[in-house]
Chain A
């Protein structure tokens, strides 16, 4: 408990990392719920990797154009990485969703290929860049330890915007996800709402990737939503539970990592996995005992 008090103190050295981690923990599951409900879970693996590739590309662009990175501020560098990450995520999600809706080819194959090509391209881009060692690799791996005030503010504002839009348009986003023909008969512009949802997913993933890296971002997109699904009775319950579970797990994971000197992101994801396994086991036991009654 002493460690918990320590990390929650306002003068805690890594407070920005803690706050960012908890913000990501609360926000990612909210868009993850839509990925799960639309059966686009594997997009959650591919998109963070594409986002990471976009950041690598954007960071390298000034070097290729002859502008040295030292001439840019760290804030500028992070904005550049965010813009590249967002652009790549949005293009990828729109193309993949379009192909998914046409229903041709093997969707899993496309997503697998996207993942592996994006991962390889990120490595290639950075391998030929002598400035990559100067903190860029940390940025792309998502070293949650090195979060500046600017990064925290960028994350908080972006995620707050996502949260507000999700809250305002939740009704339409749910309708077009669940019953597209019905949405059309009710004169809803389904293409517009699809694009908005993909935009929100893309923005959240871009912010998460730059803060915690692609692996941890995927963990927070998927596992809280899957866990909450096991015990949710309705949609509002599902959304709130997934978000609260993600936020609290990231706080608890941070605490455990700090206590035992472990890497923060992986500790948080393993903790989410343990909670998922426990919830699944308990829900199965409950359903078996109900069936026997």
Chain B
């Protein structure tokens, strides 16, 4: 494995029960890069994420990590999968991010609580610390989940559709926040979305999924009319507006 490779998928096959979802996945994620996994709903992008996080095991092949070490991930799940019946405050939720480095019998210390507030401050949500997570808006919830991911002191932040269901302004604010955090700490970002345009100007490399077909490469190569026609079978045009890449 090259020294700057953080995660490597080696001929990986993934599936659930009797159903195979993806086969022959070969790609690597580099240390410190902004890596996008893009595909329509049901294309298998969350399955890749689950394999990456160790939630499911590959049927074939292997997911390897740098130096064979157990990586720390800062995981931001899709908002909808967290059950809001739990009466957790934003601070309690953020503190969960440090449970990995705390021993089984240790409770979060005053320093951990201070760090939780600091991370809430970094994502612009410190005033929400004492509020119930269930009572927050979509954008506020996402910020709190990102603060929780920061608590893990992670090698990589893994975000699963973090802007799903948000308006354009909210999407922009969350993406700007992630880019800011990455530039501050140099953390690897693995970002899953179903919107092609969302990461057109942020991601350095992309993995594009469509009906079992997989294309991986630098963003400028993937977001190319020919590649999009080949993968999606539609005529798409990649335009530039005010220096920003847009797919129409």
Contacts and interface: CB of A to CB of B under 8 A. Distances in A.
B89 A233 contact: yes
Interface residues of B, number: 28
Contacts of B77: 179, 181-182
Interface in B139-172: 152, 158
Contacts of B82: 178-179
Contacts of A237: 87
Interface in B46-97: 50, 53-55, 70, 73, 75, 77, 81-83, 85-89, 92, 96
Interface residues of A, number: 27
B89 A179 contact: no
A183 B159 CA distance: 16
A169 B99 CA distance: 11
A125 B201 CA distance: 71
Given A168-B105, A184-B53, A233 B70 contact: no
A181 B53 contact: yes
Contacts, number: 70
A186 B87 contact: no
B50 A181 contact: yes
A234 interface: yes
Main secondary structure of the interface of A (DSSP, over half): helix
A171 B108 CA distance: 9
A233 B87 contact: yes
A73 interface: no
B98 to A, nearest CB: 9
Contacts of A177: 86
Contact of A171 (B50, B54, B99, B158): B99
Contacts of A68: none
Nearest to A189: B104
Nearest to B100: A186
A37 to B, nearest CB: 6
Contacts of A15: none
B73 A234 contact: no
Q: Which of A36, A179, A183, A229 has the most CB of B within 10 A?
A: A179
A179 B158 CA distance: 15
B136 interface: no
Interface string A167-198: 01101101101110111111110000000000
Given A175-B99, A184-B54, A235-B88, 14 more contacts: A37-B86, A39-B85, A174-B96, A181-B75, A181-B81, A184-B55, A185-B54, A185-B73, A185-B75, A186-B100, A233-B87, A233-B89, A234-B89, A237-B87
Interface of A: 36-37, 39, 168-169, 171-172, 174-175, 177-179, 181-188, 229, 232-235, 237-238
17 contacts: A37-B85, A37-B86, A39-B83, A172-B99, A178-B83, A178-B86, A178-B88, A178-B96, A181-B53, A182-B96, A184-B53, A185-B100, A185-B152, A187-B100, A232-B87, A233-B132, A238-B87
